[in-house]
Amino acid sequence: MDIKLHQIEKITNNFSEDQRIGIGGYGEVYKGNYNGEEIAMKKLFNMQGIDDKEFTNEFRNLMKVKHQNIIRLIGYCYEIRHKHVEMKGELVFAKIIERVLCFEYMEGGSLAQKISDESCGLDWPARYKIIKGTCEGLNHLHNGRPNDHIYHLDLKPENILLDIHMMPIIADFGMSRLLASSKTHITQTLKGTLGYMPPEFIDKRRITKKYDVFGVGVIIIKIIAGTEGYTNCCEMSSPQHFIKDVHEKWKKRLQAMSKQDNTYTINTLAVQRCIELAVRCVEVDPANRPTIKEVVEELNILDADMKKLSLMGQTTYSSKVKYLDVDPALELRFPFELNKDISTCMQLTNNTNDFIAFNIRTNQMKYNARPSNGTIPPYSKLYITFTLLAQEKEPPYMWCQDMLFVRSTRLGMDPGDEIIDEFFENAMPSMVVDEVKLPIVYVV
């Protein structure tokens, strides 16, 4: 809607301090009621470099952007006034351009007000909801319209608003686009926010489609690890140390809250995947960062894996039963030869009417099992091939300090093999997991 300036002045009490709810890099924000709906009005500063025709056309285009994670632009005001002002001791008429953008009002404030470290603040489901929604909104800006890619260029927690249900809403993407040339990848005029701008922009003023990915990576790290999260990530000796540190802290918090069902397993999996993804987003070389489309695809895969884990934990059993028959049952034997890979076989038999998940491990790294995890359908058999990698020294006869572990549990359905290892790694106390231990014997 084209809202008249006198109407905006009326509902903001002539832009009074009482109605002002914020101030940003592009203008001051006021709250008011328009036609029975609470709206937020951003009165833009007088900024050079914005062409009047370009401004009008751009915001007509932005009004067409519709997504649940993108701020809804209700209307705008564009008026030119002539006022008497004093200049060099004389009264002259000056042309004053008033630009006001009107948006839906978000009761939850900004994400910047909600960020805290792992030990307090929002629980993990709320944080994950914000991460997923922010990425989906940004993906819509980048890819929602095939011939009109919108890059935010100033993505930060202050520009992510929250509704009463903690749904993230991306705001302030229009002004960034107006101030950055769409015809060149080099700019000298854009004013972003330090800490969220990628290295290639700081060093060379180069804008790529990975610009916003860097910003969203910093935001995800702060959502998971707190305001100092990105600083800690940069200061640690390696990204893997940072990932492990964050994951361990979250495991402690989640364990303290609940480990009575599969919620603990699902949430710890999501924490690890999200922090790993965020670290990839802040790679110094933009070529090593994923696109925002790839980020959303990975989060969708995570959603599917969490759903599988949830279904896997729905059926529990009160008594331990041997789920798999393991043959051989006493020991696993290898006919040993020096400097040669040696293979032997094992048979797993499922005599139940459920799918059985299994996971195979040894206490030494010199063995390979194929497959090492998976599921076995009801009343079925599976053969496992074990390989002892070539050894340069001959062990004592009947050596049996190495051990083989076969873990198994019943499933209500087949979840697929790709998350079985993670499932066993974080097995829930409510689940029954059988474990068979076999000594590994060399026959020399």
How far is C-alpha 197 from the geometric centre of its chain's CA atoms? 18
Please, which residues have CB within 8 angstroms of residue 119's CB and are 6 or more apart in sequence?
249, 253
How far is C-alpha 12 from the geometric centre of its chain's CA atoms? 38
Q: Which of 52, 117, 123, 154 is catalytic?
A: 154
Strand extents, DSSP E, 210-366: 324-327, 332-335, 342-350, 355-362
Instruction: Write the DSSP string, 293-317.
Output: HHHHHHHHHHHHHHHHHHHHTS---
CA atoms of 444 and 397, how far apart (whole Å): 6
Nearest to 158 by CA among 42, 328, 332, 275: 42
* Whether 325 is catalytic: no
CA atoms of 360 and 319, how far apart (whole Å): 22
What are phi and psi for residue 109, nearest 5 degrees? 75, -155
Tell me which H or E stretch contains 24.
Answer: none
Could you give the angle at the alpha carbon of 126 between the alpha carbons of 69 and 133, nearest 5°? 20
Please, which residues have CB within 8 angstroms of residue 145's CB and are 6 or more apart in sequence?
64, 65
Q: Residue 404, class by beta-carbon neighbours within 10 Å (0-12 exposed, 13-18 middle, 19+ buried)?
A: buried
What residues are labeled active site?
Answer: 154
